[in-house]
Amino acid sequence: MKAKYKDNDSITVVGILNKAERMPNSYYGNPRYLVSITSEYMGNTFHARTKPNASLGYSIGNHFGEKVSATLGSYYGHLSITNVEGFKNET
């Protein structure tokens, strides 16, 4: 059974961005990606999409294989990635 996500729900995940698979472009020609982030703390793997026409589609490939802090939310009932940044340890 697939999980359903409610609009306005969001979480922040810290983990490795280990998949950035190109999806078909949006209607307006902007890039979209299907990404996987494996959380170091929970051990779960999250699969999310970039939103259509989001500027994140242009930069997400720069973080492939890196430890990131990503904000995941809901977009029309699907898990989406809304922000990603390189993770910096604050020690």
Rounded average pLDDT per 10-residue block, the chain, 91 residues: 60 91 92 92 89 89 91 88 84 56
Residues 45-59 pLDDT 10s: 999 999 999 988 888
Q: What is the pLDDT of residue 1?
A: 40
pTM of the model: 0.81
**Domains of the chain with bracketed CATH:** 10-86 (2.40.50)
Nearest to 20 by CA among 3, 6, 36: 36
* Cβ within 8 Å of residue 57, ≥6 positions away: 30, 31, 32, 33, 50
Q: Compute CA distances 61 → 2, 21, 50, whole Å.
A: 27, 9, 11
For residues 15 and 39, the answer to whether their CB atoms sit within 8 Å is yes
